Amino acid sequence: MHGTVGAVALDEQGDVTAGTSTGGVFLKLLGRVGDTSLPGAGTYATQFGGASLTGLGESMMRTLITKTACDSMRMGLDAQGAASSAVNMLSNMLATEAGIIVIDNQGGISLAQNTPHMAHAWFKKGMPEPVTGL
């Protein structure tokens, strides 16, 4: 009935992209705009990396957390560092649950979550099959 689907990718030319689709908050108020339509909240990508996030949209809009993750990569963190710091920031600042997937411009892929479950998969050229998990 509701849920988030996010994707981040790095192509052979080194271009990074990210996208997010969400079912939104169940029984949301009429007229509510979620985080996926706001750059830097639920989705963001730069030449340094990309990020897609799931969680309560209001928290993502207040922190622009996917932009923060991409800024972390611009400042030298890899995908793992950016993902971990983003979720830690949300936990510490707003005590909210979230999950993030991140790719850096070197092809590093990572995720971080403070939720009980977050289905995920990733695949790189040359791998026989994707890595998956909950």
What is the rounded CA–CA span in Å between residue 81 and residue 17?
19
User: Tell me: the pLDDT tens digits for 4-31?
Assistant: 889 999 999 999 999 988 776 665 677 7
- Residue 61's pLDDT is 85
| Residue 26 pLDDT | 64
Q: What pLDDT shows up at residue 88? A: 94
The topology (CATH level 3) of 4-20+33-133 is Glutamine Phosphoribosylpyrophosphate, subunit 1, domain 1 (3.60.20)
Active site members: 4
pLDDT in tens, 35-76: 777 888 889 999 999 999 988 878 888 889 999 999 999 999
How many Cβ atoms are within 10 Å of 100's Cβ, its own excluded? Answer: 29
Residue 128, pLDDT > 80, answer yes
Say which DSSP state 31 is in. T
* pLDDT at residue number 25: 63
- Angle at CA of residue 109, ends 106 and 114, nearest 5°: 145
Band of the pLDDT at 114, cuts 50, 70, 90? very high
